[in-house]
Amino acid sequence: MKKNKYVVYWLLTGCALIFVMVLVGGITRLTHSGLSISDYKLIQGTLPPMNDQEWQEAFELYQQYPEYQKLNSHFGLEDFKDIYFWEWLHRFIGRLIGMVFIIPFLFFLITKRLDRPTIKKAVILLIMGGFQGFLGWYMVKSGLVDRPDVSHFRLAAHLTTAFLTFAYSLWVALDLIYPDKKEVNTKIRNLIRFALVVLLLQIIWGAFVAGLDAGFIHNHWPLMSEGKLIHETVYIEQQPVIKNFFEGKSGVQFVHRYLAYVVVAFILAIWFKTRKIERTPLQEKGLKVLLAMVFVQFLLGVFTLIYAVPLWLGIAHQIGAFFLLATMTFTLHRFTK
């Protein structure tokens, strides 16, 4: 760790910035601000409009697209400024992340502070970051056509890539912080890996719920509307039936609400399985935080559903998913190397 401490600081700074970007992205989504900037200027778009003329030009551009024409035709310039801010901030943080990853990487490369394996991992991170930026614009483009809402598939890809980039950056940092190898319990490691896959599926379906505004229906727990375990709208909104679980509001909510129990079950299984083996202090800390975090996140999901996604609860639920992924990544690392 000591000789690599600045590289570790660099990677963890990137993790922190990705967290902030996901947080702001969630606010952008929940305040319906994501389509306020309908063009992409890599350099010129760094600063927001700086005078009345620039603001008016940006507003007139927004007025050319379906969101204004179909949903926000009552907006004045001040209303537009409010939603513009969040999308601009989200993109600004994305640009900042790009600089934070690229500039130190070049410095570390020139000064030979990176070994070959770390260089390869850093290049993968840069590619993931670039792909994430592309997905963001690809997502926005889907909402600039007839339907003034972004594709929930593209939203899920955008969000999941951000989570994966964070997790991989954290993993590379942990490799440098804890370079020593140890004996691995393959059964526990594989169980955590499988739980991580299930968690990622839950994050994807959470993005589907957000993209389809499916959190505003069936606002009951533990059962769906009318006290039903499976409401009939789960399987009749779309044809064929399987399509409901990817594109139907009730169907995607059904998957997301019941997959949460599967995530909890896996983490409980990990907890009880690890009671039977010897654990290092770091493994034990990771397991305790993981167990606590999954219940916190579960409760956040329940309250977000019951109260029909108020802004602060929606954001808290997204943050909870982020910390749950971080904790699971750390725990998996401690049981892998």
Residue 52 region by backbone torsions, left for phi larger than 0, else alpha for psi between -120 and 50, else beta: alpha
Burial of 65 (0-12, 13-18, 19+ CB in 10 A): middle
Nearest of 151, 161, 140 to residue 212 by alpha carbon: 151
Average pLDDT in the chain: 92
Whether residue 66 is preceded by a cis peptide bond, meaning omega within 30 degrees of 0, is no
Structure tokens at 231: 């409401």
Task: Give the model's confidence band at 72: pLDDT under 50 very low, under 70 low, under 90 confident, else very high.
Answer: confident
CA-to-CA distance for 283 and 330, rounded, in angstroms? 9
Structure tokens at 149: 């809402």
Instruction: State pTM to two decimals.
Output: 0.92
- Segment 283-323, tens digit of pLDDT: 999 999 999 999 999 999 999 999 999 999 999 999 999 99
CA-to-CA distance for 173 and 167, rounded, in angstroms? 10
CA-to-CA distance for 294 and 196, rounded, in angstroms? 12
Q: List for the chain the helix, strand, coil content (%; round to 5).
A: 75, 0, 25
Q: Determine the pLDDT at residue 1.
A: 56
Q: Determine the pLDDT at residue 142.
A: 84
Lowest mean pLDDT among 140-144, 249-253, 258-262: 140-144
Q: Are 78 and 55 in contact (CB under 8 A)?
A: no
pLDDT at 148 exceeding the cut of 60: yes
- Segment 99-110, tens digit of pLDDT: 999 999 999 999
> Binding residue per annotation — 90?
no
Task: Give the model's confidence band at 140: pLDDT under 50 very low, under 70 low, under 90 confident, else very high.
Answer: confident
- Segment 82-104, tens digit of pLDDT: 999 999 999 999 999 999 999 99
Q: Determine the pLDDT at residue 145.
A: 80
CA-to-CA distance for 203 and 26, rounded, in angstroms? 13
DSSP letter for each residue of 220-261:
-SSS-GGG-SS-THHHHSSSSGGGHHHH-HHHHHHHHHHHHH
> Binding residue per annotation — 220?
no
Give 12's Cβ-side CA count (13 Å radius). Answer: 12
DSSP-derived secondary structure letter, 325: H
Report residue 26 CA to chain centroid gap: 8
